Chain A
């Protein structure tokens, strides 16, 4: 199950991403139906999937969100920014829960209170508090009634209609309180009736006696309370419960849809006046088109017919149809009553409970018989569990628990029984399946119940009217279904295909229906009869062996034998688990990819040993032919490893959108907080880079974007005053560039004043006086990346948390990248990050200086030139080189490294031109060598304190190469 939870977490994270994007899109375009659909679907998916796990708080919030969005989608509610804030907060919480799930496989202990709060806040958007739901799901004793309590009929029609009308503005659910005072309550000084009358939100009080009053009233003990109080309250559970807290053990609380107040009264007189109306209204009711139904009913209500019962009923219909959530069950019952004067509220839940209760005894008897017959002790447990399940049939959660225990038992034929008592709604197949299952669990081949349920649904389908073009399809599919079911049960269906063809030809399904009628019924009927028979004998001692049951049990055993070796077959099939179904994408743990990547990296480096080997073969052993062969093998291996590396890269590539996507939310939240009007433009999101790089990028980018929002972009007033457009623009742009990716953060804000930076840096002792005079504007801008620099006058909530731009630079450099800044005062600022596409393998150029080899990252190298030494000019204290018309300052590497080696005097100088803070700088080295692919390892231990070196790399011949850090070297 663990892998499923993981899949759920991953999938939900994806959904959350989509959801958050949708909300942001909706803020600009609240009516966009596509976005709403996508949003709803994502939330719906999450809700559906979460139902598979035991994470009620999670499901509740998502469910609330789904319900609200459903109404939004139907155009009944329009989302405001505040609503979206709430949704986003809820989704943040959901995301936090996902993290918790991933870590501990369960939610925090406070999840359920948070969930209650969020879901009720969400539901408040559509004006329904969802309080009864909450109570029910929390297993507080508030159960929702699925039918009107009987005592309600003691109220007159007028009283009920009056009550309904009075409540119309309030919550659709009423609290039903049943208070049976203790018989001796008068001796405690209790006044039950007054207590009830004072209950908050008290609407109606109905009194009953607990037992029939004796004929001779003189025998009645007036000091014993024999009352039962029933009340309807519009107050909520908590306050009412609190009001009755001293007698709470004598009270029962329920909630009830106020639609149940609707019960038609009066004498029914059949009339044809409503015939047409009934058909029309029925149609609307089936389609749940309550608006239309309401119009139809109102039209009808204006017509006076001499039929009090029907008029009374229509009055109710008119009210019910205008409810927020019309109660389809009550409406349908009313419509049926309009037809025949019989008001019967079909109610699966109460029916289910009733059936469960009725069947309780025979099941127990059957179980007892089983035990009696000397079965395994497992069956004993089954009996107890079934017993419990029956008793707690009305509490869904209980049943679940027992159901699990039942499932785990071998040969527990009653497992369907427990689960089916949870059937929550009146429906076709569930009811049918339910009836069959409950009545026969102990004594029948379970396949028969399901088969009968399926067959009955097929008959219902065949009974429906069809549009012509799908008629054949439906007939054929039902026939196929029937054939399959019969094949499983070894039942002969005769020439059903021919019958089906005939039915299609003649457009008449009656022959088929006759065939289906009672297909599995005879067998079932018999056992039902047995059960019913037994339930009449409820009071008979349970141990008594019932010959009927014994007989049926025997039959059942036979039936199982007729279906031989089923478990073995299943196991066999499981073993031949199918491999043909392949998924298009593969989700792999990142660590596995990393491990593979490391191996590929090592291979790339290891192959570098081959050229050395070839050299050795030729020079030391004098085997030229072998050297040649090694060389040619090397080129093959080289090509393969290159391909392997690039394939590996492809695997690890993720689009930058994964990082960019979080910015719309961030910018939105921050700009609202700062009172700024900012338009975020994302460009080049589809650019791909290595996952590690993209992850590394995330924090620096957030920091930079915050900086831009906080310090760069102005408030609308400031912008207008400066003659700019009111809305500021922040652009995040990704550009692929060779094997690097450039990321630009561009704002059109106030820009950075280099003079201010210069002064600040001087004040903070980052630069000295001499530098202050000579520093260029560009160089001073780059000072903001220096450690310990922060220009913010006031430390705000957003940026300026003590970590400055130097942290950004450090992180980017660690990832092998560079940072640059450009700014024009009053116009805006551009920050450029340049990152390698991949961090794993870097290309390094080898150079030689003072007999020592060094590596320089290929990224920073612009070109290599060899120039005559007399072309070097001395300007003040520094040397420069004029290179194709550009002045390039020159440094000697051994000076920078302070290696004090003899300066090699020659006519020609090797100059390595590198890019440093946007400027070209020449490095004089002794010799250039080849470029190699290596895995750079960071310096560790005492070497770590040498900032000039960014790391080491292993060469093919086993030597270690120091890789220079030009950024530090050329400060």
Chain B
């Protein structure tokens, strides 16, 4: 069973994404910011992360950068989800190390298909 870590400070969004991911049969773990995500990711060892951009304490960019610096965890694919649809936001996400960028609110089929493929869930 594939595992996915949902990182978002908004409870509603987390719930929504969790529902969508569980529909796909993912085991879901949640974190409310980058810092908590870094703590949880060690034990959880997800197949992919869904990362929000704007979060207190540690935002999505920082989180992915930190992740990419960690020898043991840096291979984990990250999907960044943000309300910003501008090109430069996307470039910033990819520069930070994201593997895909989805504009929020995400379309159900896009989010599900991308997550499923990126996490390698058949």
Contact = CB atoms under 8 A, between A and B. Distances in A.
A441 to B, nearest CB: 11
A566 to B, nearest CB: 8
A472 B87 contact: no
Contacts of A487: 120, 122
Interface string A770-813: 00000000000000000000000000000000000000000000
Interface in B43-102: 47-48, 54-56, 65, 67-70, 74-78, 83, 85-88, 90-91, 94-95, 97, 99-102
Given A7-B11, A45-B9, A47-B83, A484 B47 contact: yes
B23 interface: yes
Contact of A473 (B10, B69, B118): B69
A428 interface: yes
Interface in A576-634: 576-578, 580-581, 583
A407 B118 contact: no
A452 to B, nearest CB: 10
A287 B23 CA distance: 38
A894 B85 CA distance: 80
Given A48-B104, A474-B97, A483-B120, A578 B113 contact: no
Listed residue (B9, B30, B47, B68) with the most chain A CB atoms within 10 angstroms of its CB = B68
Interface in A38-70: 38, 41, 44-45, 47-49, 51-52
Contacts of A22: none
Contacts of B70: 473
B109 A419 contact: yes
A328 B99 CA distance: 24
B105 A485 contact: no
B86 to A, nearest CB: 7
A480 B76 contact: yes
Contacts of B26: 578
Contacts of B68: 470, 473-474, 477
**Top 10 closest A-B pairs, CB basis?**
A573-B25, A484-B120, A473-B68, A473-B74, A476-B75, A49-B12, A481-B77, A51-B105, A8-B12, A450-B113
Contact of A477 (B78, B104, B122): B78
Interface stretch (A147-155, A458-466, A507-515): A458-466
Given A7-B12, A446-B113, A427 B99 contact: no
Contacts of B94: 428, 457, 460-461, 464
B114 interface: yes
B100 A570 contact: no
B109 A41 contact: no
Given A38-B56, A573-B24, A454 B100 contact: yes
B99 A488 contact: no
B11 A11 contact: yes
Contact of A52 (B18, B105, B119): B105
A906 to B, nearest CB: 67
Nearest to A471: B68
20 contacts: A4-B12, A38-B56, A48-B10, A52-B16, A52-B105, A407-B108, A407-B109, A419-B110, A446-B113, A450-B114, A450-B117, A470-B69, A472-B74, A473-B70, A473-B97, A477-B77, A481-B100, A566-B122, A576-B25, A578-B1
Nearest to B9: A45
B12 A481 contact: no
Contact of B69 (A426, A469, A563): A469
Contacts of B67: 473
Interface of B: 1, 9-13, 15-16, 18-19, 22-30, 47-48, 54-56, 65, 67-70, 74-78, 83, 85-88, 90-91, 94-95, 97, 99-105, 107-110, 113-114, 116-122
Contacts of B95: 464
A470 B65 contact: yes
For the complex, would chain B's binding face be called helix, strand, loop or mixed by DSSP majority? mixed
Contacts of A11: 10-12
B16 to A, nearest CB: 6
A768 interface: no
A834 interface: no
A428 B27 CA distance: 29
Contacts of A574: 22-23, 25
A87 B109 CA distance: 36
Contacts of B99: 454, 457-458, 461, 477-478, 481
A578 B28 contact: yes
A286 interface: yes
B8 to A, nearest CB: 9
Interface of A: 3-4, 7-8, 10-11, 38, 41, 44-45, 47-49, 51-52, 286-288, 328, 407, 415-416, 419, 424-430, 433, 446-447, 450-451, 453-454, 457-458, 460-461, 464, 469-470, 472-474, 476-481, 483-485, 487-488, 563, 566, 569-570, 572-574, 576-578, 580-581, 583
Contact of B117 (A52, A461, A488, A566): A488
Contacts of A48: 10, 13, 83, 104-105
B118 A484 contact: yes
A659 to B, nearest CB: 23
Contact of A425 (B30, B87, B105): B87
Given A450-B114, A454-B117, A485-B118, A429 B101 contact: yes
Nearest to A465: B95
Contact of B104 (A51, A425, A570, A572): A51
Contacts of A570: 23-25
A154 to B, nearest CB: 30
B22 A578 contact: yes
A254 B39 CA distance: 51
A569 B2 CA distance: 13
Contacts of A419: 107, 109-110
Contact of B120 (A8, A41, A485, A577): A485
Contact of B100 (A429, A476, A563): A429
A427 B89 CA distance: 10
A574 B22 CA distance: 6
Listed residue (A10, A51, A483) with the most chain B CB atoms within 10 angstroms of its CB = A51
Contact of A416 (B77, B109, B122): B109
B24 A581 contact: no
Contact of B13 (A49, A286, A328, A480): A49
Given A48-B10, A51-B83, A425-B87, A484 B24 contact: no
A965 to B, nearest CB: 45
Contact of B75 (A8, A49, A479): A479
A30 to B, nearest CB: 21
A199 to B, nearest CB: 34
B27 A44 contact: no
Contacts of B28: 578, 581
B24 to A, nearest CB: 7
B5 to A, nearest CB: 10
A52 B101 contact: no
Contact of A41 (B54, B74, B77): B54
Contact of B88 (A3, A288, A429): A288
A3 B16 CA distance: 10
B88 A286 contact: yes
A450 B18 CA distance: 21
Contacts of A474: 68, 97
Contacts of B54: 41, 44-45
Contacts of A4: 12, 15-16, 19
Given A8-B12, A470-B97, A481-B77, 5 more contacts: A52-B16, A473-B67, A473-B70, A563-B122, A581-B28
A430 B103 contact: yes
A710 to B, nearest CB: 39
Contact of B29 (A428, A454, A488, A581): A581
Contacts of B83: 44, 47-48, 51
A583 B87 CA distance: 35
Nearest to B120: A484
B77 A488 contact: no
Nearest to A63: B83
A52 B111 CA distance: 14
